[in-house]
């Protein structure tokens, strides 16, 4: 029996140039918006117009499907464009279940945009399976999972929730942005699709805004066709250059993320034992409420994101992060550089985040330097 290749090998092979007559080992970039027709009106290359498809997006989408073990993938201009595509695939009267601490702009989109489209939704604590089950009604068509969640790193049982969705006749989608297929493989746990902000670990260098959906074999064909149709008609597609950057990012994603996850674990351990830190939210720590489930679902590590609670309020949290020198104060995550932010002031109105919470995205700098920076700030 032929053994399935390892992730590292697939990530390189799937992103290599296909049928490049120059012999180029690196991928070319095709900025062309349109493609030449033959005299008989046919399109020999298969490409017509770049909103529909272009060579860079085709390569990226096939690579995304391959590394995820999915059936097909769609690339978008941002993670939010991918999220909006899933929501637009629903119809008036449909009901959606989302985590109570889902990415705040998903909650805003449901509350501020899709409420006008008569899409109803319920926010539940997805660590509580009975609560998920109780939120199901006859119109539930989508169960959205985000695990670990943002910014409290709550871990939900993806396999169990996918089963509830299956019994309900709803599709189940996981926002796997924080783990990527390197650390967590929701497709193997029975979900229909996986969503990414590839702006984060896929790109890995904080220089490309983009997103993706990868659908699995279990996804209903009509729904998948609808998603592809929305990608084309709503037009929130990534540029050729963004596709090229993400395709390149896939090649080193595992190396980066494994190192970032290792750094994060060490930083979390350091912060947990410090007397000034009230709480560290990080699933790899045995003190995390869903630690056992996290180890099952993310056996290689729970990622490179953590959050901490310090002092009583925003002022104390801000004063602490002002003293850090190696952690850039900026929103976002997943790049090679370490970032830190006071999450509540970023989320504003929709925020349910504690006032004294600091969110940390750990990069690939040397761990001793990162810990020393915190040591200095906490003194």
Ligand X SMILES: *Cc1c(COP(=O)(O)O)cnc(C)c1O
Nearer to ligand X by C-beta: 16 or 337?
337
200 an active-site residue? yes
Name the active-site residue from 107, 141, 200, 344: 200
Does position 245 interact with ligand X (CB under 6 A)? The reply is: no
Question: How deeply is 33 buried, as exposed, middle or buried, from its count of CB atoms within 10 A (0-12, 13-18, 19+)?
Answer: exposed
Nearest partner of 342 among 326, 352, 354, 325, judged by Cα: 354
d(CA 208, CA 224): 26
Specify the residue for token string 């006859």.
138
Contact (CB, 8 A) for 345 and 317:
no
Q: Active-site residue among 94, 101, 157, 175? A: 175
Residue 104: active-site member:
no
Q: From start to end of 106-235, where are the E strands?
A: 120-124, 140-146, 171-175, 193-197, 211-215
**20-28, 32-40, 196-204, 367-375 -> range binding ligand X (CB under 6 A):** 196-204
Paired tokens of 168: 């309900």
Q: Which is nearer to ligand X, 15 or 361 (CB)?
A: 361
> Is position 244 an interface residue for ligand X (rule: CB under 6 A)?
no
* Closer by beta carbon to ligand X, 277 or else 306: 306
Give yes or no for residue 341 binding ligand X (CB under 6 A): no
Do 232 and 51 form a contact (C-beta atoms < 8 A)? yes
262-301 binders of ligand X (CB under 6 A): none
Contact 181, 7 (CB under 8 A): yes
- Name the burial class of residue 337, with classes exposed (0-12), middle (13-18) and buried (19+) by CB atoms within 10 angstroms of its CB: middle
**Is 64 an interacting residue with respect to ligand X (CB under 6 A)?**
no
**Active-site residue 51, yes or no?**
yes
Contact of 227 with 61, CB cutoff 8 Å? no
The owner of tokens 């391959």 is 66
Please state, in angstroms and rounded to a whole number, the distance separating the CA atoms of residues 142 and 168. 9
Among 54, 57, 66, 79, binds ligand X (CB under 6 A): 79
Query: Which residue sits closest to ligand X, CB atoms considered?
Result: 79
Looking at the Cβ atoms of 55 and 203, the one nearer to ligand X is 203
DSSP assignments along 124-154, one per residue? E-TT-HHHHHHH--TTEEEEEEESS-TTT--
Give the residue with the Cβ less far from ligand X, 30 or 178: 178
Q: Distance from CA of residue 274 to its chain's centroid?
A: 30
211 in contact with ligand X (CB under 6 A): yes
Least separation in angstroms between CB 199 and ligand X: 4
Among 30, 35, 47, 103, binds ligand X (CB under 6 A): 103
Residue 202 is a binding residue for ligand X (CB under 6 A): no
**Between 94 and 175, CB nearer to ligand X:** 175
Question: Stretches 78-86, 222-230, 267-275, 307-315: which one binds ligand X (CB under 6 A)?
Answer: 78-86
Could you list the beta-strand ranges (E) of 256-304: 277-281
Site size for ligand X, by CB under 6 A? 14
Using CB under 6 A, pick the residue from 209, 240, 293, 362 that binds ligand X: 209
Range 150-169, binding ligand X (CB under 6 A): 150
Q: Annotated catalytic, 103?
A: yes
Site of interaction with ligand X (CB under 6 A): 78-80, 103, 146, 150, 175, 177-178, 197, 199-200, 209, 211
Active site (catalytic) residues: 51, 103, 175, 200
């Amino acid at each position: 029996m032929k053994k399935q290749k390892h992730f590292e090998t697939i990530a390189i092979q799937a992103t290599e140039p296909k049928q490049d007559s120059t012999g180029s080992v690196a991928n070319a970039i095709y900025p062309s918006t349109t493609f030449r027709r033959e005299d008989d009106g046919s399109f020999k290359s298969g490409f017509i117009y770049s909103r529909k498809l272009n060579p860079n997006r085709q390569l990226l989408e096939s690579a995304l499907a391959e590394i995820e073990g999915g059936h097909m993938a769609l690339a978008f201009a941002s993670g939010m464009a991918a999220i909006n595509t899933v929501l637009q695939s629903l119809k008036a009267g449909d009901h959606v279940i989302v985590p109570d601490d889902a990415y705040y702009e998903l909650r805003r989109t449901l509350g501020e945009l899709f409420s006008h489209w008569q899409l109803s939704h319920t926010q539940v604590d997805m660590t509580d399976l009975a609560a998920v089950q109780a939120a199901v009604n006859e119109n539930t068509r989508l169960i959205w999972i985000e695990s670990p969640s943002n910014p409290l790193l709550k871990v939900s049982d993806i396999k169990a929730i996918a089963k509830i969705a299956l019994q309900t006749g709803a599709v189940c989608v996981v926002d796997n942005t924080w783990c990527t297929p390197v650390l967590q493989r929701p497709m193997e746990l029975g979900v229909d699709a996986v969503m990414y902000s590839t702006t984060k670990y896929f790109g890995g260098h904080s220089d490309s805004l983009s997103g993706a959906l990868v659908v699995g074999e279990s996804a209903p064909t009509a729904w998948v066709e609808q998603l592809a149709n929305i990608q084309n008609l709503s037009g929130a597609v990534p540029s050729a250059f963004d596709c090229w950057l993400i395709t390149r990012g896939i090649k080193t994603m595992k190396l980066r993320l494994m190192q970032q996850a290792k750094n994060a674990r060490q930083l979390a351990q350091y912060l947990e034992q410090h007397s000034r830190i009230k709480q560290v939210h990080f699933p790899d720590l045995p003190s995390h409420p869903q630690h056992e489930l996290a180890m099952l679902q993310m056996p290689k590590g729970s990622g490179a994101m953590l959050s901490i609670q310090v002092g009583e309020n925003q002022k104390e949290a801000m004063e602490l992060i002002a003293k850090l020198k190696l952690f850039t104060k900026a929103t976002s995550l997943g790049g090679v550089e370490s970032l830190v932010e006071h999450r509540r002031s970023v989320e504003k109105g929709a925020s349910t985040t504690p006032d004294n919470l600091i969110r940390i995205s750990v990069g690939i700098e040397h761990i001793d330097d990162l810990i020393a920076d915190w040591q200095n700030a906490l003194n």
